Amino acid sequence: MGYMAGLFLMLAGCSSETLKVGLYDGTTGKTTTIVYSKHYDNGVWLLKDRLGLVVRVEQEKKKIPFTHASAQAFRSFVPEDTLTTGKVSITLWNFDSVPHQVRFKRMVVRSGEMDFQNHVITAPAHEQSEIAAGHVPIFNYGKSIPLTLEVEVAGKPFRIKLELPRRTKPQLKQYSSLGAVRPYPWGARSVKG
């Protein structure tokens, strides 16, 4: 019964903007509430110390049709709004003195995939380049999004496995402040050199 009550509190705390999760400490008897935003993101090096990639997903509060038989079977056990839409954007961070081209092939998440149709993005030297990539189905109450991204850089294919954590409200504020150390491999480093 306690498990169901905890689950209920977690689900009841979800809106289009946030997810509130209560964590009970049995030792102190206190409950701490964590407020997650609607933003997921993470970064990785494509070319060590020269070209970084950040994938961002912004949760949109929309019901989407269930397209897979497993999702339809799952639907009978969970609330109707289990899946929602995630708006995907990708940013290339070019720390190099030469431009780099990245060919985007495919991105796969647990509940669906996105075909980039070999779209090529050129990252100019010492600049950030961002694109709106499209939408993918995501779990409405998730705290992270595991994904696989297939790209090609300078003719070499990469298959990147990445976990996008759902950022808390305090984390978003911290990471967006002036001179902040971002949660990516390049930290506070600027592309401008």
Q: Distance (Å, rounded) from C-alpha 69 to C-alpha 83? A: 14
Q: Distance (Å, rounded) from C-alpha 81 to C-alpha 93? A: 35
* Domain spans in the chain, listed from the N-terminal domain onward: 39-176
Residue 179: the pLDDT is: 78
Across the range 13-27, mean pLDDT stands at 65
pLDDT digits (tens, 9 = 90+) for 134-175: 999 998 888 999 999 999 999 999 999 999 999 998 998 888
3-state secondary structure of 179: coil
> Percent of the chain at pLDDT above 70?
78
**Cβ atoms within 10 A of the Cβ of 104, count?**
21
Tokens 């779209």, residue located: 119
Mean pLDDT of the chain: 82
- Report yes or no: 153 and 100 within 8 Å, Cβ to Cβ: yes
pLDDT band at 18 (very low <50, low <70, confident <90, very high): low
pLDDT digits (tens, 9 = 90+) for 34-92: 888 999 999 999 999 999 999 999 998 654 444 444 444 444 445 456 788 999 999 99
Residue 74: the pLDDT is: 46
3-state secondary structure of 11: helix
Residue 95 has pLDDT above 70, yes or no: yes
Q: Please state which CATH number belongs to domain 39-176.
A: 2.60.40
